[in-house]
Amino acid sequence: MSSVDRVYSEVRAMAAAFEFKPDERINELRLAKFVGTSRTPLREALNRLVAEGFLTYRNGQGFFCRSLEPGGIMNLYEARIAVECEGIRLASERAEDVEITALRSYLHWIEPIYRGDAGPEKLVELDEEFHLKIIRLSANSELERMLVNLNARSRFVRRIDMEKRRAITPADHLAIVRALSIRDPAAATERMRQHITRRREEALAAVRNAFSRLYVSQGAM
């Protein structure tokens, strides 16, 4: 694994968790030393992150953390609706029965963890994984790529949201899988839309609280 890939993953995780404060300028030399490399591979990684929407770039001024506005979060959730609703529609046409059965098993498999003492990171991870499994059933790598990106960029907010809720409510997920298993694209799409919309409303409320913690916490940098 090359330095660029390693640095990319590391900085991406930092950006996803807003360890850079919104709109904060990124000092290349400092960050390069922090991740243990030189500016050249770091800048290559930063350029990827610009293309993926994690950072912004202004000529002559360098790289900046993306800003965190409620409107921007809304946009991410709406984009998720676009991707996931079409994804589940395709999945309901293309998935093998055995794959849907496996999905249902996964839900039952992780249910004890819901009720256990898993931390918010773990809960978000399980939730993302469920949605990813559905997208994969659409057999469309573009939709999957888009969802991976949207997940990473909204993870911070979802984590905050999960902290408040303390649990995943599995009812939505079960209803989605049920619609999928009876091959009802319209119902599956509608369930998915409602599900994500609900989460969006929660997240929107959560993000307002998020501001405070962002500007207080002193990250590793």
Partner DNA sequence: TTACACAGAGCTGTATACAATTTCAAGCGA
Partner DNA sequence: TCGCTTGAAATTGTATACAGCTCTGTGTAA
Binding site for DNA (CB under 7 A): 2-4, 25-30, 37-41, 43, 57, 59-63
**Of 81 and 162, CB closest to a copy of itself:** 81
Distance CA 131, CA 10 (A): 24
**Of 45 and 150, CB closest to DNA:** 45
CA dihedral 46, 49, 55, 61 (to 10 degrees): 30
Binding site for a copy of itself (CB under 8 A): 1-2, 4-5, 40, 43-45, 47-53, 59-60, 75-76, 78-79, 81-83, 85-87, 90, 138, 140-143, 145-146, 150
Q: How far apart are the first and last CA of the chain?
A: 24
| From the list a copy of itself, DNA, none, partner contacted by residue 26 (C-beta under 5 to 8 A by kind) | DNA
Smallest separation (angstroms) from a copy of itself to the CB of 140: 5
**Of 44 and 144, CB closest to DNA:** 44
Task: Decide: 64 and 161 in contact? Cβ < 8 Å.
Answer: no
**Of 43 and 122, CB closest to a copy of itself:** 43
Name beta bridge partners: 62: 58
| From the list a copy of itself, DNA, none, partner contacted by residue 45 (C-beta under 5 to 8 A by kind) | a copy of itself
| From the list a copy of itself, DNA, none, partner contacted by residue 140 (C-beta under 5 to 8 A by kind) | a copy of itself
Q: How many residues are listed for the chain in this entry?
A: 221
Q: What is the DSSP letter of 67?
A: P
Distance CA 150, CA 54 (A): 10
Smallest separation (angstroms) from a copy of itself to the CB of 82: 3
